[in-house]
Amino acid sequence: SNYAFIRYFPLPDDRADYPLNIIDIEEVNLLKAEVAYGKGEYDLARDIINSGRRVTVGEMPLITNDPEEIADALFYENSIELHFAGKGIQWMFMRRWDLLQEGTLLHLPIAAVEVQLIGPQIEAVTIGGTGTGDGIDSARGDNSWR
């Protein structure tokens, strides 16, 4: 069950004894590899991925500089390594790569308190859901992972 992964676990109030990890080095490295991939620097992307936990801890085979193999490794590593990293990381990755299912929101919603402050001049926010994929407010789903 994935329930344990989404459940809230309170942290201790006293953080003086240990550092608070805001962003994991593996997330930084995967972002660097993703940028290198996007720029066509496949050797650099491969080297970054091969120097990560995938090989050092997971004992997985080294990848080549084949663009498809690098993309597959990026998808896999983002889902495995960053599973506990924070809310929205997988959504942001899938949004960047156009992998969201049809109707998935492309923008974070406006908080209700903000809508109330803006007043009646704002239109009702009714976006998202199957059949609403316009590519502007919600994903078309053309390249969805399913």
Q: What's the DSSP call for residue 4?
A: H
- Look at residue 15 and tell me whether its pLDDT is greater than 80: no
- Look at residue 34 and tell me whether its pLDDT is greater than 90: yes
- Asked whether residue 13 is domain-assigned, the answer is no
- Asked whether residue 24 is domain-assigned, the answer is yes
Coil, strand or helix: which one is 138?
strand
CB 26 within 8 A of CB 34: no
Per-chain mean pLDDT for the chain: 80
pLDDT at 50: 95
pLDDT at 37: 97
- Which residue matches tokens 């406006």? 110
pLDDT at 33: 97
25 and 89 belong to one structural domain = yes
63 and 39 belong to one structural domain = yes
Cα distances from 111 to residues 54, 59, 116, 124, 134, in angstroms, run: 38, 44, 9, 12, 22
CB 78 within 8 A of CB 93: yes
Distance of CA 11 to the CA centre of its chain: 23
121 and 82 belong to one structural domain = no
44 and 75 belong to one structural domain = yes
Q: How confident is the model at residue 90 (pLDDT cuts 50, 70, 90)?
A: confident
Instruction: Determine which of 46-60, 99-113, 116-130 has the lowest per-residue pLDDT on average.
Output: 116-130
Instruction: Report how far residue 105's alpha carbon sits from residue 135's, in angstroms, rounded to the nearest whole number.
Output: 9
